[in-house]
A and B are shown apart, each in its own frame.
Chain A
Amino acid sequence: MTDAPAPVIETSAVDSPRSQRGSLLSSLLQYAGLVGVLMLLILIFSLMSNNFLSKQTLITIANQIPDLLVIAVGMTLVLIIGGIDLSVGSLLALSSAVMGVCMVNYGWPLWAAVPVCLSVGAFCGMLNGVISVKAGIPSFIVTLGMLEMARGSAYLMTDSQTKYIGSSIEWIGVPLKGFAFSPAFLLSLVIVALGQYLLTRTVFGRYCVAIGTNAEAVRMSGIRTAPCSIAVFTISGLLCGLAGVMQTSRLSTADPNAAVGLELAAIAACVIGGTSLMGGRGSVINTFFGVLIIAVLQTGLAQIGATDPIKRVITGAVIIIAVLLDAARQRWKRRG
């Protein structure tokens, strides 16, 4: 072998900064921005309201977010492969409606109704995936159609009536005795952890990121992208079913009107967490922080007596600011 050739490291504009080895420090730094924003919000609300920094607020938030959180985990995966799932709110309502009908009209026990509820979500999610992947239709369109179909089906199933289920399901959403958190919240944390592990440590997660970055390059690398994409939509649907169980337990009722507009809250949480709508970039943990930021904002604004219109204005502004900050951060990262 001859001498090594002269180094030809590209020294153009895009020589980015320090190494991003999986050191603990750098992975913590990755979350620092979002945690900072969260802390800032908590600080502001603590100063503006005497009751904000209390156990009660914590319990309120913890019991509010599980359904949004699990749906946002699924949404993160969908966004990472470069798709979008607009049907999540309707799927939640449909699976909840199915569960309500099973338990109220047919008198099924909870343990039998839950699997049916999850299956409905997963099946509809799979349908989203199969149609958009196999027919090459943008998931935006397919899931928009599913949004309408699932919502309509939820009304049909329930005759547009709410189904009161009662105590047999309430325990899932109620804090455990002597403990601030409900089983639903704990389960949603487990889902976050599983989601992050799936995304960062498994072949499946790696393929998701790769597909979102450049699906054709993945195909030319000898990898079938269709099963992976379909699985992602199925997971999103499954998590809608799970969120359906959680919300039903919180309200003690299966409501076909439930979760209208939830898809936008879930997308907002992902985007605040830095997930790219173009695909290829995202983190479940960051989505978790995104959900917390939205929840803290909602609860805090309610406590300081903000009206609903004001809440909406501020929440919307926070979403845009978060994305601007993220874009700036990406530019800074690329420039060094």
Chain B
Amino acid sequence: MNDAPQPLRLTVRDLSKDYVVRVLDGVQFELRAGEIHALLGANGAGKSTLCKIIAGLIPATSGTMTLNGVPYSPADKRFAESQGVQIVQQELNLIPTLSVAENLLLGRYPQRWGIIDRRALHAQARVALDRFGLTEIRTDRSAGSLGVGQQQMLEIAAALDRNCELLILDEPTAALSAGETERLFQRLAELRKQGVGIIYISHRLDEIAKIADRLTVLRDGKYVSTHAVSEFQPIERVIDLMTGETQAALHALQNHRSYTTERTMIRVAGMSRAPAVRDVSFSVRAGERYGIAGLVGSGRTELLRLIFGADRAESGELFLRGETESRRFHHPQAAVAAGLAMVTEDRKQNGLLLSQSIRVNTTLSSLELLTGAAGVINRRQEVAVVEAERVRLQIHARDIEQSVGTLSGGNQQKVAVAKWLLKEADVFLFDEPTRGIDVAARRNIHQLFDQLAAQGKALIIVSSDLEELFETCDRIGVMSAGRLVSEYTRETWSYEAIMQDCFSGYTQQATRTVSGITS
């Protein structure tokens, strides 16, 4: 590593932001040219607020900033962009109905008298995508037809295609597959060499250990400290700074305990819906946590949706609780009635009613348990039940009437889970259960997996975070290009083996599938 100090790209002094309460309180930050600087903290620590101020999305209440040594107080995003400050936010900001090229060059279309030069548009977009290694994305596709991972890559490519001296990435890899993440990191390393300063927000500590030079920790809107990443060996020790907690609980989780019983709870046989899912078979026992690993786009979400009846399967059968008669669900309602529950990947899209209260969201699936004659809801009982779930899952909110959209990601996810706990399902499908949520909430969710397993539930957990599957699961199945290519137990799995399997379906005409049920 180069020890000669690079010039300062950005300094932030005593920056504060007040809404109803103070969300940023006298924060210090600095970023050198050619540095990747990670910003760490639990959800609500103020990372996103700080980045939004730097990117000109919101104004600061007080404090000063300099950019390349010159006082800097962006009035809006446009000004910040003109100064070379680009932000890629956690939420996707693409316009789904426009083409890839139109999104990529939004606001700076090659034109003459207001008429877009389509050829130049696509040519420029092609160059920008190729430079980022996204050669497989056609520029005339509509952005909405891309997978979430590709959309994320497209947004980053668009930011880099503008004048970019300071790049802010907020959870860029949350939706990316391992391969895409690798590609992104290569690109970031190149940018670092070119002197671009990068602010990097991520909950994935292994990524930070891998790519960042320094890190700054925020806690409850306050500046904690700045360190070289190399000071933390292993990187998990930085969690102590973020939460002030010891790692006892983390270690406790690693002492994995199996609750797997002999009883098969759900068996999936030959589930198919081409091209996303091809002939997938596996089974999960009562008390077992079955992880599904795979690259983004390998068909994991689609598989869960087929099982849950959200999409129609072309073929395939389900056997529940050892029954000999097969089932296939044509609507989630049938799946729920049969004892299935699914916590979806995209909470905002299809998991939660954001503008409704915690109470309404929690009881939505189980109102029939709270109703008397004529479909009238017993309010008192409803409130009691929701309060109980709120305590059990440690949902942090003012009260149960707070609208879910105003909660942090972690608490939103807990509400999405609470909905199904009330329902007392036998089989739980979790799709990316801890994506984009903070360390503490993630731990709560993992503890909940443990409790559910102990109660004899069957859990199917899809996650792009292999560490998470290692921590929580009894077995892991790997999907690649729509097929379930392998299964591992705690004794047999390894990071390298699973990663290889993840890619196997794409590198060759893989036809190998798991036959029968292991162990």
Residues of chain A having any CB pair with chain B under 8 Å: 2-16, 19-22, 201-204, 206, 209-210, 213-214, 216-224, 280-281, 334-336
Residue B375 lies at the interface, judged by CB distance under 8 Å to chain A: yes
- Complex Cα–Cα for A3 and B249 (A): 9
Please list the 4 inter-chain residue pairs (A to B) with the smallest Cβ-Cβ separation, ordered nearest first.
Answer: A222-B336, A5-B440, A10-B408, A213-B353
Known: A9-B408, A202-B377, A216-B349. A223 touches B333 (CB 8 A): yes
With A8-B438, A10-B406 known to touch, is A2 a contact of B398 (CB < 8 Å)?
A: no
CB-based contact B406/A16 at 8 Å: yes
Do the beta carbons of A8 and B410 come within 8 Å of each other? yes
Residue of A nearest to B334 (CB): A222
- Which chain A residues lie closer than 8 Å to B403 at the CB level? 16
Q: Which A residues touch B411, using CB under 8 A?
A: 8-10
Asked if residues A9 and B19 are in contact (CB atoms below 8 Å), the reply is no
B376–A11 CB distance below 8 A: no
Chain A min CB distance to B261 (Å): 24
What residues of A have a CB within 8 angstroms of the CB of B221 in the complex? Answer: 11
Contact A14–B353 (Cβ < 8 Å)? no
Contact of B43 among A10, A206, A280 (CB under 8 A): A10
Q: Is there contact, CB below 8 Å, between B243 and A210?
A: no
Whether A20 contacts B401 by the Cβ 8 Å rule is yes
Name the B residues within 8 Å of A8 (CB-CB).
42-44, 396, 408, 410-411, 438, 440-441
| Cβ 8 A contact of B394, one of A4, A203, A335, A336 | A4
Q: Are A213 and B440 in contact (CB under 8 A)?
A: no
Q: Do residues A15 and B21 form an inter-chain contact, with CB atoms below 8 A?
A: yes
The minimal Cβ–Cβ distance linking B440 to chain A, given in whole angstroms, is 3
Measured between beta carbons, the chain B residues less than 8 angstroms from A5 are: 243, 245, 394, 440-441, 443-444
Between-chain CB contacts (< 8 Å), 14 pairs = A5-B394, A8-B42, A9-B398, A10-B411, A11-B23, A12-B49, A21-B399, A201-B376, A202-B376, A209-B360, A218-B364, A219-B332, A334-B406, A335-B20
Is there contact, CB below 8 Å, between A222 and B344?
A: no
Say whether A206 contacts B44, CB under 8 Å.
no
Q: What distance in Å separates the Cβ of A241 from its nearest Cβ neighbour in chain B?
A: 23
In the complex formed, the residue of A with least CB distance to B408 is A10
Most buried by B among A2, A22, A204, A280: A2
Which residue in chain B gives the minimum CB-CB distance to A214?
B353
- Interface residues of chain B, those whose CB is within 8 Å of chain A, are 19-21, 23, 42-44, 48-49, 220-221, 243-245, 248-249, 252, 308, 310, 331-333, 335-337, 342, 344, 349-357, 360, 364-365, 367-368, 371, 374-377, 379, 394, 396-399, 401-403, 405-408, 410-411, 419, 423, 438, 440-441, 443-444
B394 touches A9 (CB 8 A): no
Contact of A202 among B43, B249, B365, B374 (CB under 8 A): B374
Q: What is the distance, in angstroms, from B106's C-beta to the closest C-beta of chain A?
A: 25
- Given contacts A8-B43, A204-B375, A209-B360, 20 further A-B pairs with CB under 8 A are A6-B245, A6-B440, A8-B42, A8-B44, A8-B396, A9-B397, A9-B408, A14-B406, A15-B19, A15-B406, A19-B398, A22-B379, A202-B374, A203-B376, A220-B332, A220-B350, A221-B336, A222-B333, A280-B355, A281-B355
Given contacts A217-B350, A222-B333, A336-B20, contact A206 B406 (CB under 8 A): no
B333 A224 Cβ-Cβ under 8 A: yes
Residue of chain B at shortest CB distance from A216 = B350
Contact residue among A13, A201, A220 (Cβ-Cβ distance under 8 Å from B351)? A220
What's the Cα separation between A3 and B377 when bound, in Å? 36
- B110 CB to closest chain A CB (Å) equals 36
Q: Are A213 and B354 in contact (CB under 8 A)?
A: yes
A2 to B394, CA, bound (A): 12
Q: In this complex, what residue of A is CB-closest to B403? A: A16
Flag if A210 contacts B21 (CB, 8 Å).
no
A2 to B243, CA, bound (A): 14
Q: Which chain B residues lie closer than 8 Å to A20 at the CB level?
A: 357, 401
- A220 neighbours in B (Cβ, 8 Å): 308, 310, 332, 342, 344, 350-351
Partner pick for A7 among B354, B365, B396, CB 8 A cutoff: B396
Complex: A8 Cα to B445 Cα, angstroms: 14
Report the Cα distance A21→B359, complex, angstroms: 11
Chain A-chain B contacts (Cβ-Cβ < 8 Å), number: 150
**Shortest Cβ gap from B406 to chain A (Å):** 4
Nearest chain-B residue to A211 (Cβ)? B353
Q: How far is the CA of A78 from the CA of B394 in the complex (A)?
A: 37
Residues of A within 8 A of B397 (CB): 9
Bound Cα distance A206, B399 (Å):
19
Contact A222 B21 (CB under 8 A): no
Chain B residues near A223 (CB-CB < 8 A): 332-333, 364-365
A335 to B21, CA, bound (A): 11
CB distance from A11 to the nearest CB of B (A): 5
Q: Among A202, A209, A210, A222, which residue has the most Cβ atoms of chain B within 10 A? A: A222
Chain A residue with minimal CB distance to B252?
A: A2
Given contacts A12-B44, A202-B377, A220-B351, contact A6 B244 (CB under 8 A): yes
Q: What residues on B are CB-neighbors of A206 within 8 Å?
A: 360, 364, 367, 377
Q: With CB as the reference atom, state the residue of chain A lying closest to B48.
A: A12
A9 partner residues in chain B, CB cutoff 8 A:
44, 396-398, 408, 411
Taking CB atoms, residues of chain B closer than 8 Å to A14 are 405-406
Nearest residue (CB) in A for B332 is A222
Q: How far is the CA of A216 from the CA of B354 in the complex (A)?
A: 12
B371 touches which one: A6, A203, A218 (CB < 8 A)?
A203
Least Cβ–Cβ distance between B243 and chain A, in angstroms: 5
State in angstroms the CA–CA spacing of A22 and B244 once bound together: 38
A224: contacting residue among B248, B331, B364, B367, CB under 8 A: B331
Knowing A3-B245, A220-B344, say if A280 contacts B42 (CB, 8 Å).
no
Most central of A7, A202, A216, A221 by chain B CB within 10 Å: A221
Alpha-carbon separation in the docked complex, A214 to B349 (Å): 8
Distance in angstroms from A29 CB to nearest chain B CB is 14
Q: Please indicate the chain A residues that have their CB under 8 angstroms from the CB of B337 in the complex.
A: 222
Q: Closest Cβ of chain A: how far from B18's Cβ, in Å?
A: 10
For A335, list chain B residues within 8 Å (CB): 19-20
Please, how many angstroms separate the alpha-carbon atoms of A238 and B484 in the complex?
53
For the complex, give the distance between the alpha carbons of A248 and B338 in Å. 51
Question: CA–CA, A201 to B377, complex, Å?
Answer: 6
CB neighbours of B371 from chain A (8 A) = 202-203
What's the minimum C-beta distance from A318 to chain B, rounded to whole angstroms? Answer: 26
| Complex Cα–Cα for A104 and B6 (A) | 95
In the complex, chain B residues whose CB is within 8 Å of the CB of A12? 19, 23, 44, 48-49, 406
A281 and B68 CA atoms in complex are apart in Å by 49
The smallest beta-carbon distance between A188 and chain B, in angstroms, is 22
Q: Complex Cα distance A2/B444, Å?
A: 11
Docked CA distance A9–B406 (Å)? 9
Chain A residues contacting B335 (CB-CB under 8 Å) are 222
Task: With a 10 A CB-CB cut-off, give which of A4, A22, A220, A334 has the most chain B CB atoms.
Answer: A220
Tell me, in angstroms, the Cα distance from A20 to B356 when the chains sit together: 12
Known contacts A10-B43, A12-B49; A221/B349 CB under 8 A: no
Cα A302 to Cα B308 with chains together (Å): 60
Residues in A whose Cβ lies below 8 Å from that of B49: 12
- Chain A residues within an 8 Å CB radius of B245: 3, 5-6
By a CB distance below 8 angstroms, the chain A residues around B220 are 6
